[in-house]
Amino acid sequence: MSGGGRIGSPPMDTEAPHTQRGHSSPREGQGWPRSAFSRRGGAEPAEGAGQDRSSGRPTWRRAGVLGVVCTAFLLLLSNFVLQPFLIPSHSMEPTLRVGDRVLVNKLAYRFGDQPGRGDLVVFDGTGSFVRERAGGSPVDGLVRGAASALGLAEPSDTDFVKRVVGVGGDDVVCCDAGGRLSVNGVPLDEPYLYPGDAPSKVPFRIVVPLGTLWVMGDHRSQSRDSRDHLGEPGGGMVPVEKVIGRADWIGWPASRWGAVGGGHG
């Protein structure tokens, strides 16, 4: 009998440890289901959960919204403050070259200042350099206007960039005995002229009406400017109110970054 008790004792010993493990303290983290730790914040989130949020990469919708916001900001900036203007011709060489993108300061004359002699101005030539005409498709005009405002397309064929030679009240004459232009009897020093060009091959004498400008290109032999409209209504004069802004900087290409050189005072 005593031998039988010794044979049965091992199972009783093994039973006790099992009972202890089953009632172990919950603080040890043993025996608790995974959901219990999730409720208490102890369990880590499943792999891959929230990956899109934590990756930092915007979704295509966010990228699209960001693109629209940036484009709208650039359009507002170009309409009211600073507009890129693509140079389409040789008329302003060597100061500006074909393909240059100048930044037009639209605030230059917004607060009472007026264009001065030597300024490079961008203006709407409708009514002075080109005739009034019916517009095309509104949609085409909107798309082209937006592209021009961002400097991605050539400017409207009614927009021009020229140098101011005379302002309201000036007496501009070509040419004096030395072959130079003179303003109010004072000969002009024009270092910006294209090498080899004469100040003008067309003789003229005009008095600039108040509120208007007499403008000319730096590459005189390649420029259609105020001289070419002397016999037309307006006489080639550009109303100050048609000035879009002053071309102050070259923004592109990078090799030509910098301020645009001024002219005579």
- How many H-runs (helices) and E-runs (strands) does the chain carry? 5, 12
Question: Is 35 an active-site residue?
Answer: no
Question: Is 226 an active-site residue?
Answer: no
Pick the catalytic residue from 78, 106, 128, 162.
Answer: 162
CA–CA distance, 33 with 136 (Å, rounded to integer): 74
Strand partners, 204: 174
Q: Helices 138-149 & 60-80, crossing angle to 10 degrees?
A: 80
Dihedral of the alpha carbons of 156, 85, 226, 215, in degrees to the nearest 10 = 150
**Positions marked active-site:** 91, 162
